[in-house]
């Protein structure tokens, strides 16, 4: 029998972040992952971290985003210092382009939001945009741009490297990591939680469910009622001799993420197709068409890789973070949809505050299971 202070179910960004935060605050932690630790949906993510400011907003979601945005550079530095792994955090800035009247209206709406919350945003015309990113000069932005904004405080991380760093940091700090360990069910028994797997039963003082898009199955088996909706996203990866852009480039739900070494990510898509993680020729063709329209130099180049991941969504788009109703020792951290890489640090801090009876860094009421 294995006993810990905390068992974390799920070895994606949420589970690893919670485990690392918990072990750094003195808890003895076990992490159970049914597959490979540091993969899941998190491995597939672009790693865009849009700017947010928790000091200027009362909105709970924006406070979570703002706290996470402040923590990411600290976590990147600490991960690098402890593991030697660079998680790819770059203060690269993000450009937001509007090529249609609808996109322009959406950006003007966002401009009011950025202004209200003191998030730096500079409006660009075509000439300013092309001066900033000359390689957009051959494509659609040169002739069809309606407006653009630069958000200098947008960051990017390389998701696979961030996960590798978190995993190494957890290992170094003594988290007991169990891959290939599917948790079927968790049950509160007296002053402990029992977690049933196919081979072994784990016991701990508390457990956190961080199973991403697959969280509903274990919740239902354990008598906990909430729904997570998987939303597939598809991506392309190119390898170029050097990065064509300095910044993340966003248009609606599509984006380029340029890496230092010339890898260029193109995303993404939103589809509700259950738990299917295959890519489809139609989605890949649409992404290629968008990418080649903005940057025609890509036309003769084949992507080196394509993949899909399942974003964990909820009915109202807010994640579930906090204690499970009517249970003392069960906690949940899931449903972060398109923003799980970004929100992972703030979520981890908030969960570990609860676990350690620390004054809360965030008010989690808006994220509770069973909210109206
Ligand atoms: C194409 C794409 C692009 C994205 N881009 C961004 C981005 O730019 N920025 C951003 O912030 N977010 C982005 N996201 C969203 C982000 O990837 C997710 O919100 C985040 O990865 C969710 O993390 P997680 O740890 O909750 O889930 P996961 O990473 O899926 O981890 C959950 C883990 O739990 C395990 N598990 C499930 N059930 C069990 C069980 N019963 N027992 C044991 N283990 C179990 C799974 O195997 C999995 O490894 C993107 C997503 C996609 C698909």
**Interval 278-336: pLDDT, tens:** 999 999 999 999 999 999 999 999 999 999 999 999 999 999 999 999 999 999 999 99
40 alpha carbon – ligand 1 mean position (Å): 5
Q: What is the pLDDT of residue 58?
A: 87
pLDDT attached to residue 3 = 86
Beta strands in the chain (DSSP E): 2-9, 29-32, 48-49, 94-98, 122-124, 147-151, 155-156, 176-178, 183-189, 192-197, 201-209, 229-239, 248-251, 254-258, 263-267, 305-313, 320-323, 330-334
**Interval 238-256: pLDDT, tens:** 999 999 999 999 999 999 9
End-to-end CA, the chain: 40
Q: Which atom of ligand 1 is nearest to the CA of 217?
A: 41
In ligand 1, the atom with minimum distance to the C-alpha of 334 is 26
Mean pLDDT of 31-36: 98
Residue nearest to atom 39 of ligand 1 (CA): 211
212-to-15, 28, 35, 134, 275 alpha-carbon distances in Å: 9, 23, 13, 39, 12
Q: Ligand 1 mean position to 234 CA, how many Å? A: 14
Q: Do domains 2-87+158-227+315-367 and 94-153+229-313 have the same CATH topology?
A: no
Q: Which CATH number fits domain 2-87+158-227+315-367: 3.50.50.60, 3.10.20.600, 3.90.660.10, 1.10.240.10?
A: 3.50.50.60
Which residue among 13, 15, 20, 42 is best mutated to probe the pocket of ligand 1, counting the most ligand atoms within 8 A of its Cβ?
A: 42
Q: 287 φ, ψ to 5°?
A: -65, -40
Best residue among 40, 218, 287 to mutate for probing ligand 1, ranked by most atoms within 8 Å of CB: 40
**Section 267-288 average pLDDT:** 97
Distance CA 218, CA 359 (A): 30
Residue (of 357, 270, 350) closest to 61 by Cα position = 350
Predicted pLDDT at 57: 87
Query: Does 38 sit in the ligand 1 pocket, CB within 6 Å?
Result: no
The domain 94-153+229-313 is classified under which CATH number: 3.30.470.20, 2.40.30.170, 3.40.190.10, 3.30.9.10? 3.30.9.10
**Residue boundaries of the structural domains of the chain:** 2-87+158-227+315-367, 94-153+229-313
Say how many Å lie between the CA of residue 253 and the centre of ligand 1.
Answer: 18
Task: Give 199's pLDDT tier (boundaries 50, 70, 90).
Answer: confident
């Amino acid at each position: 029998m294995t006993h810990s202070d905390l068992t974390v179910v799920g070895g994606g960004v949420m589970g690893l972040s919670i485990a690392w935060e918990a072990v750094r605050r003195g808890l003895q932690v076990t992490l159970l992952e049914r597959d490979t630790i540091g993969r899941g949906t998190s491995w597939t993510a672009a790693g865009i971290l849009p700017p947010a400011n928790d000091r200027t907003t009362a909105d709970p979601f924006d406070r979570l985003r703002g706290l996470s945005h402040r923590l990411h550079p600290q976590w990147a530095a600490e991960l690098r210092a402890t593991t030697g792994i660079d998680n790819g955090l770059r203060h690269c800035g993000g450009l937001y382009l509007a090529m249609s009247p609808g996109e322009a209206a959406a950006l003007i709406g966002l401009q009011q939001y950025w202004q209200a919350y003191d998030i730096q945003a500079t409006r660009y015309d075509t000439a300013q945009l092309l001066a900033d990113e000359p390689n957009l000069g051959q494509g659609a932005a040169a002739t069809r741009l309606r407006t653009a904004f630069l958000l200098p405080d947008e960051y990017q991380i390389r998701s696979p490297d961030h996960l590798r760093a978190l995993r190494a940091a957890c290992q170094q700090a003594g988290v007991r990591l169990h891959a290939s360990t599917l948790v079927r069910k968790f049950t509160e028994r007296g002053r402990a939680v029992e977690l049933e797997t196919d081979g072994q039963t784990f016991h701990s003082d508390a457990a956190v469910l961080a199973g991403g898009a697959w969280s509903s199955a274990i919740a239902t088996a354990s008598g906990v009622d909430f729904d997570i909706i998987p939303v597939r996203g598809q991506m392309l990866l190119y390898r170029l001799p050097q990065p064509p852009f300095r910044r993340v480039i966003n248009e609606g739900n599509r984006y380029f993420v340029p890496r230092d070494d010339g890898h260029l990510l193109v995303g993404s898509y939103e589809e509700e197709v259950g738990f299917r993680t295959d890519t489809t020729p139609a989605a890949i063709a649409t992404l290629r068409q968008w990418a080649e329209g903005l940057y025609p130099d890509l036309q003769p180049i084949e992507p080196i890789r394509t993949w899909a991941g399942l974003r964990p969504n909820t009915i109202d788009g807010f994640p579930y973070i906090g204690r499970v109703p009517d249970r003392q020792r069960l906690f949940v951290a899931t449903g972060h949809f398109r923003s799980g890489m970004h929100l992972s640090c703030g979520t981890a801090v908030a969960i570990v505050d609860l676990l350690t009876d620390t004054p809360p860094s965030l008010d989690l009421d808006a994220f509770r299971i069973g909210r109206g």
